[in-house]
Chain A
Amino acid sequence: MLWTLLGVMVITLLLGFPMMIPLIAGPLIMILFFMDGLEPTIMIQQMAEGISSYVLIAVPLFIFAADIMTSGRTSQKLLDFVGAFVRHLSGGYAITTAAACTMFGSISGSTQATVVAIGKPMRQRLLKAGYKDSSAIALIINASDVALLIPPSIGMIIYALVADASVGDLFIAGIGPGVLIFIFFAAYAFIHAKIFNIPLAPKADWKERRSVFIKALMPLGFPVIIVGGIYTGQFTPTEAAGISVLYALILEVFVFRSIKLKEIPDIALSSGIVTSAVFVLVAGGQAFSWVISFARIPTMLTDAVIPADPTALQVLVIVAVFFFIGCMFVDPIVVILILTPIFAPVATMAGVDPIHLGVVIVFQAALGSATPPFGVDIFTASAVFNKSYLDVIRGTPPYIVILLLTSVLVIVFEDISLFLLNLF
């Protein structure tokens, strides 16, 4: 049963079928041929459910806002401003991109929204600065996914509920690994820029910096309103997405007059196609994860691999492998809800700190989501940047290696997550 499911998915995937086919046909065949008495209509229910989350609504709105800003002048002015401070530094743009993606990802709570909102404008500037497209996109995807670790993290909130741990402690414990990853990304960006001889632009003087700052004043209101608004509780991330659409419209249509009102429907249509291409996959992914949960496949697999009297390290490694692989295929939240109750008691008995376990789990969820074949952020990047799937994943290996390395460090040295907690 499991092999048929995987077989159908892998073959249709490799032959170049639209990605929605493996995600839809796999579960459909399971239900029709392997699950007696089950009506396939359940798939439809779950496909609708998959795209009904309130948090997801932010994504099409951010896609629309980003489309408006990149068609007009807003993002240009913002990037000129950033460029005036980092363009003379080796890897400066890449480091800025990593920081912006991680920050925005953590406050918006949606890695997809981040790929769009930050990735779209930053990618243009990275290309201009001489980066290869594949490395630019890989950087954006991976830096956005790391946001799962940075508070406020929905993954940690869910883990805390299931495993009975403190959200506040988890938030603090996520900072160490998050910063460590950022340092590694920055170091890689620096070395990468040196090796590939990314040309450095001349350092901007303070006069130029002042001038681009003044030009960017209005566009700068954008991050200020969004980030400030969410942090002070004026609005939720979804509402912030709505605000950003309006802000972008006002700036481009009425202030800069770079876009005519009659061009808006075309931009909206293009945003709509991108939304559809991504969300159909999210819908299919939910149907897929329903079928494997219903068939109890996760429990079957975990029962088979947990040894009788495991050591703490053994448990952590098994946990890491399961969450990593699970999140390569299924939404991280669903994986956390289903697998945590299976592993948490085993881990506790083996003496693993529950906070540390949570950090390892959320770390793997982030890593798995950024890893092919079914990372939703990979789909989003492919749709938003209109690049083929292979082009999108071509540049990811260095980042996956960095993340794997960091996750080994985090698993072995629990102090990376716990030291901040122990300080207080």
Chain B
Amino acid sequence: MTFGNVIYRLVTGSSWHFAAEISRLSVIVASFIGISYAARKGRHISMSAFFDLSPRPVKKALAIIIPFVTAIVLFAVGYFAVLYTHGIYESGRTTAALQFPFWLMVVAIPIGCFLGGIQFLRNMWINIVNKEIYLAQDKKDYSEQQETQI
């Protein structure tokens, strides 16, 4: 879209005023919908020094508690995001250039938080039912991985 904007501007000397809005929408959608996918792959950034150095039982406990609390926080944020999105929906606000309803711009936030919360619950569950320690559903703890990390 941004690229199209340049070409269009170079060719016609004018601009797609809505390029910025579409890009903004995609960034919000990608960021929040991506929470659950990154959670599944264990790609969220964290400071793992204490975790890495802990003895196995502590590690196991943390591997259950951390995703649980994270899920709770995400559900709480998701709940407030529903309220926020609903408020925008009621106000009837639209975007400046494309004039489409503004609530569409932010609706990815509640959806992403709830999907993310569910995925963190699954990360917790896999640590409850399995003996091994999982950093995420698709990622075992570094010390228990057979294959080397790239």
Contacts and interface: CB of A to CB of B under 8 A. Distances in A.
The short answer to whether A and B are in direct contact, CB under 8 Å, is: yes
Contacts of B37: 269, 272-273, 276
Given A18-B70, A275-B31, A276-B32, A242 B2 contact: yes
20 contacts: A16-B51, A18-B46, A19-B45, A21-B69, A28-B77, A44-B106, A48-B106, A52-B27, A54-B20, A57-B2, A57-B24, A60-B30, A234-B6, A234-B10, A242-B4, A275-B27, A276-B31, A279-B27, A280-B44, A390-B47
A39 B81 CA distance: 11
Interface residues of B, number: 50
B38 A281 contact: no
A383 B2 contact: no
A284 B83 CA distance: 18
A273 B28 contact: no
Nearest to A17: B66
Interface in A174-210: none
Interface of B: 1-6, 9-10, 20, 23-24, 27-28, 30-35, 37-39, 41, 43-52, 62, 66, 69-70, 73, 76-77, 80-81, 83-85, 87, 105-106, 109, 150
SS class, residues of chain B in contact with chain A: helix
Q: Find the residue from B33, B47, B150 having the highest chain A CB count within 10 A.
A: B47
Contact of A276 (B3, B10, B30, B48): B30
Interface residues of A, number: 56
Given A19-B45, A390-B49, A41 B38 contact: no
Contacts of A48: 28, 105-106, 109
A74 to B, nearest CB: 17
Given A60-B27, A373-B47, A21 B70 contact: yes
Contacts of A383: 43, 45
A241 B69 contact: no
A272 B24 contact: no
Contacts of A283: 31
B29 to A, nearest CB: 10
Contacts of B5: 239, 242
A15 interface: yes
A318 to B, nearest CB: 29
Contacts of B48: 16, 388-390
Contacts of B33: 276
Interface in A89-142: none
B47 A14 contact: yes
B34 A61 contact: no
A28 B43 CA distance: 23
Contact of A272 (B30, B51, B106): B30
A132 to B, nearest CB: 16
Contacts of B80: 39-41, 43-44
Contact of B32 (A25, A40, A54, A280): A280
A274 B39 CA distance: 12
A149 interface: no
A273 B3 contact: no
Contacts of A61: 2
Contacts of A245: 3
